[in-house]
Structure 1
Amino acid sequence: MLITTTENIPGKNYEIIGEVFGLTTNSKNVVRNIGAGLKNIVGGEIKAYTEMQEESRELAIQRLKENAKNMGADAIVMMRFDSGSIGTDMQSVAAYGTAVKFINNSPL
């Protein structure tokens, strides 16, 4: 499944099918949360949360692709991410875009 953040796919004609989404909410375990809290005191990257963000983005993209495939799409254009925190230890990520179906304009 082709995914692009641009509006147009060079050399392709397509029709719009509709909006597609991939959503996930993740949290880390208590031990990692304690470690992250300690790291917050001294500063620096909190790797457990960086890993959680990466995992969340990948899962959101997988779900986005599944949603588009179920709609019969060939590609997704204008893909974007949105994220936010829920409480102090949960991260929500939404991947969204427009599902499109390629149109074959070649002569018969």
Structure 2
Amino acid sequence: MGIEDYGGGQTPRADILVVTTNDVPGHRVTEVIGEVFGLTVRSRHLGSQIGAGLKSMIGGELKGLTKTLVETRNQAMERLVDQARARGANAVLMMRFDVSEAADVGTEVCAYGTAAVISPT
């Protein structure tokens, strides 16, 4: 698996800027639209469950589960951006991820932040 299998984030020319900070240097917030989020719940398939169980006995990274979590986070982020765009934002400030188990059947990932309109100063 290559590096692209373990990463995420935005493309350099994204129309919605997503940052984990409260502000964007060189820009001012002209409108706060409000909270936006993207949510997804994924279950692990049987093959990765068995592989993870065996791997946990000898130690090491669970690459199949890592790849699944990366894909899940990226999907949550895409949904966050889609919601921000639909509400008229051009930025999401203070973006965070929340990850939890969902009823012992999968992993819930929520990307959330504050949708805003920003403009250069």
- Is this a same-fold pair by TM over 0.5? yes
* CA RMSD between the two structures: 1.6
* Per-residue deviation, 1:32: 1.6
Change (3 A) 1:37 1:101: same
TM-score, normalisation: structure 2: 0.80
Larger Rg: 1
Match of 1:53 in 2: 69
- Cα distance in 1 for partners of 2:34, 2:41 equals 24
Match of 2:51 in 1: 35
The runs of 5 or more residues in structure 2 that have no matched partner are: 1-15
Match of 1:102 in 2: 118
* Per-residue deviation, 1:27: 1.7
1:7 is the counterpart of 2:32: no
Question: CA contact under 8 A between 2:26 and 2:120: conserved in structure 1?
Answer: no
- Cα distance in 2 for partners of 1:42, 1:83 equals 26
Change (3 A) 1:37 1:76: same
Q: State the percentage of identical aligned residues.
A: 44
Deviations 1:65-85 (A, max 9, x none): 001001000100000011012
- Cα distance in 1 for partners of 2:82, 2:55 equals 37
* Per-residue deviation, 1:37: 0.9
Amino acid at match of 1:9: V
- Cα distance in 2 for partners of 1:81, 1:32 equals 23
Aligned length: 105
| Alignment match of 1:66 (pick from 69, 73, 82) | 82
Instruction: Please state whether the residue corresponding to 1:56 is helix, strand or coil.
Output: helix
The runs of at least 4 consecutive aligned structure 1 residues that moved more than 6 Å come to none
Change (3 A) 1:51 1:41: same
TM-score, normalisation: structure 1: 0.89
